[in-house]
Amino acid sequence: MEEPSFEKHSLEKRPQQGAPAPAPAPAPAPPALRASDADRDRFADILRNAMAEGRITAEEHSERIGEVYRAKTLGELEPLVSDLPEAGRAEPAAPARPYEAPARSLGAAPAENLVAVFGGATRKGRWRVSRRTNAFALFGGIEIDLTEAVFEQQEIVINATAIFGGIEIRVPENVTLRSTGTGIFGGFDVKTVEAPDPDAPVVSLTGFAVFGGVDAKPKRGKRLKNLRTGG
């Protein structure tokens, strides 16, 4: 009877000399990790480029961009671009519009905050619009007039919150105005407009009104003179 070959079995189990060890898979970012403003801007750029390429519609973009700026964690941001090309997520996309400011990092630009508590706040005239504007009115009123503003980005987001207060927003007639806001025992009235020029600035309005009101619409007779320079 032939004796079992223990040497053969031991050689089969022994790893081959010189074989490289498999590289460990990169650990994904923790879903509960808090998202930064730069993270939100990066995902907003992905959505903007996806719309420009025809991968998502303007309505889908408007809905998702509101979710981007409401997201608190990376886990909330990832599903918003999970059906878009992976390559676009690896690094920020190159500027595709003339409103991108070349002299500074837009992701690091601070948001502008307008607060009215038992009072009022106004932003109008010739001013440079931030990529993000947070407006909060509590028993007060806020007026945001973009008709003479300088747009340095192709898309800006205004997060409006009105609680027992009011926020009024006016934009030029020849820009795009979109909204994902909600009225809760209040009004979130936005006259949405899609500009015929694809290079026109896009104003995306998000937020909510509770026992208050948010009103946004184009201002008659006010237009940006040169869409390519945002002025």
What global pTM score does this model have? 0.58
How many distinct helices (H) and strands (E) make up the chain?
A: 5, 13
Q: Residue 120's pLDDT is what?
A: 93
Buried b (16+ CB within 10 A) or exposed e, 195-231: beeeebbbbbbbbbbeebbbbbbbeeebebeebeebe
Q: Residue 32's pLDDT is what?
A: 78
pLDDT digits (tens, 9 = 90+) for 88-101: 443 443 343 443 43
Structure tokens at 157: 């987001």
3-state helix, strand, coil in the chain (%, to 5): 25, 30, 45
Q: Residue 45's pLDDT is what?
A: 78
Could you tell me the mean pLDDT of each successive run of 10 residues in the chain, 231 residues long?
Answer: 50 51 51 80 80 77 78 87 66 40 44 90 91 93 93 89 94 91 90 87 91 93 68 58
